[in-house]
Structure 1
Amino acid sequence: MVEAIKASEPKLKPEAQIDITAPDRGNEFTVIYAVGDIHGRLDLLDEMNSLIAKDIASSGAERPVICYLGDYVDRGPHSAQVLERLSLPFADHVARIFLKGNHEDRMIKFLVDPVSHGASWMNFGGREALESYGVRPPSESEGTSWTDLRHRLDRELPQSHKNFLNNLALSFRWRDFLFVHAGVNPERSLASQTAHDLMWIREPFLSSENDWGFRIVHGHVIVDQPVFRSNRIGIDTGAYASGRLTCLVVGADEERVFEVRRD
């Protein structure tokens, strides 16, 4: 089975330590398709899924898995529709891993504690997410009842979306690759990373030259082109703003990228 760490409870404490050094159980897969941050771009997601399906068929990959690196919601126009697409069963029988990004983390925290997290989520892309569910976001000229807004969103969230959000994984290990949303904290051992590390970190991870024993594949930080370093690969090409969604393909003897693009 897949080696994945579940973020199964919305109230997951950010200081909780996560052991991502457990023995690898992902060797049943022969090739990994890692998809960068989607951010409400259903058009790019659908095109990417079609392109991956064609690539799997043409390459003859026998046991592929698609690993989505998180940040499905916020900023782009179709957060609800992206979650709907990803939470439904796929007819192709290809295995899929869904990682948890910091934007899903922020959305869940709003649902748990809207007063503490409402204003920051609105400035973080939450307005667009609310609109995709048909919930009018607050205007700057009116007072905001964050609790009422949370109730309105909760009424519009299908149970399938809630289940999807509550069962996202924090990491996926395959051979000598470790897939996470943001990165790892080089000031901690891999056996003592936190959920916050894996979903939110930028520095000191990005400039670190540490050899963790795994090559870290991540999104979270927008780059013009995928970044290949000896210890990490970054593939967030800013889909919501650039119209470019990137996929990294890694196999026993290959590393390659392809992208879908819409202006």
Structure 2
Amino acid sequence: MKTVDFKHARGPDKLRVYAIGDVHGRLDLLQAMHRRILVENEKSPPYDWVVVHLGDYVDRGPDSNGVLDLLVNLQKKTHRMLAIAGNHEIGLLEFLATGDAYGLFARNGGRQTALSYGISINFNDPDSVAAGRKALALSIPQSHVEFLRGLRRSMVFGDFFFCHAGIRPGVDLDRQDPDDLIWIRWEFLDDARLYPKIIVHGHTPVSDIEKRPNRINLDTGAYASGRLSAIAIDSDRKFFVEAVV
């Protein structure tokens, strides 16, 4: 099996690929990052470019509604804004479907997401959960729901494989379990072997961008740290971009 390390990995010809880590409701940081990307493109204009958002757009931060609205509207305007699913997007869809008071959404920042749509939910009160689910389902725009349902679990550009959480080591990239792509953690993070592609991911917060021979972790805990991180891949040139507010 052919493998590649980060130093020698290349992006596709004539296409600069940006990838942005976990946003978690920080609309201010996502907008700042998009501005940074435009500045980088002005400094060194690419032949063409795309942005891959690595998931976890919702929960914990203050404006999940605004983040989803921005991404939905950008995708209507341009083919360059791409997005893949994180576990928190799936958690939101599951809450809308089931109203689970003990699921990911309820216990990991869903209250802030609901508040961004004008809905207050007390997840320790079953009546509040039931009423809140109904109210949220009525308040969240259908365009947001369709966006969430349509998210892919991975993308490939050149020598790079983009997903939210990581991959199952030892399993071919085209045979990965969709749940592993949004949930896996230590089995992947602790694996040092090289893969056929460099895995660009988020999901596990780190204090600084984590650069390994086989993977790049871009989740710098934006909702709490105030730092949103990205990588730019331009043929054999790779560089990092940060937005701070």
TM over 0.5: yes
Q: Is residue 28–residue 63 contact of structure 1 (8 Å, CA) maintained in 2?
A: no
CA deviations 1:137-194 (Å, max 9, x no partner) are 1164x44354432211110011111111111111110111000000001143323211
Aligned-partner SS, 1:109 = helix
Q: Is residue 183–residue 202 contact of structure 1 (8 Å, CA) maintained in 2?
A: yes
Q: Are residues 1:156 and 2:128 paired?
A: no
Over the aligned positions, Cα root-mean-square deviation in angstroms equals 1.9
Aligned-partner SS, 1:67 = strand
Q: Percent identity?
A: 38
Q: From the superposition, tell whether residues 162 and 233 of structure 1 become closer, same or farther in structure 2 (CA, over 3 Å).
A: same
Instruction: Identify, as 1 or 2, the structure richer in helix.
Output: 2
CA deviations 1:15-41 (Å, max 9, x no partner) are xxxxxxxxxxx9475111101100000
User: Counterparts of 2:126 and 2:141 in 1: how far apart (Å)?
Assistant: 27
Deviation at 1:252, TM superposition (A): 0.7
Q: Is residue 66–residue 94 contact of structure 1 (8 Å, CA) maintained in 2?
A: no
Of 80, 84, 106 in structure 2, the residue corresponding to residue 95 of structure 1 is 80
1:229 paired residue number: 212
2:46 paired residue number: 61
Structure 2: gaps (5+ residues): 1-10
Q: Are residues 1:112 and 2:97 paired?
A: yes
Q: How does 1:1-263 map to 2 (within 5 A)?
A: 27=12, 30-89=15-74, 93=78, 95-114=80-99, 117-120=100-103, 121-138=105-122, 140=124, 142-144=125-127, 146-262=129-245
Deviation at 1:93, TM superposition (A): 4.0
Q: Is residue 21–residue 219 contact of structure 2 (8 Å, CA) maintained in 1?
A: yes
2:3 paired residue number: none
2:5 paired residue number: none
User: Counterparts of 2:174 and 2:237 in 1: how far apart (Å)?
Assistant: 28
1:15 paired residue number: none
User: Counterparts of 1:99 and 1:149 in 2: how far apart (Å)?
Assistant: 27
Deviation at 1:48, TM superposition (A): 0.7
2:8 paired residue number: none
Q: TM-score, normalised by structure 2?
A: 0.90
Q: From the superposition, tell whether residues 90 and 28 of structure 1 become closer, same or farther in structure 2 (CA, over 3 Å).
A: farther
User: Counterparts of 1:208 and 1:173 in 2: how far apart (Å)?
Assistant: 20
Moved more, 65-74 or 189-198: 189-198
Structure 1: gaps (5+ residues): 1-25
Q: Is residue 72–residue 82 contact of structure 1 (8 Å, CA) maintained in 2?
A: yes
Q: From the superposition, tell whether residues 187 and 145 of structure 1 become closer, same or farther in structure 2 (CA, over 3 Å).
A: farther
1:11 paired residue number: none
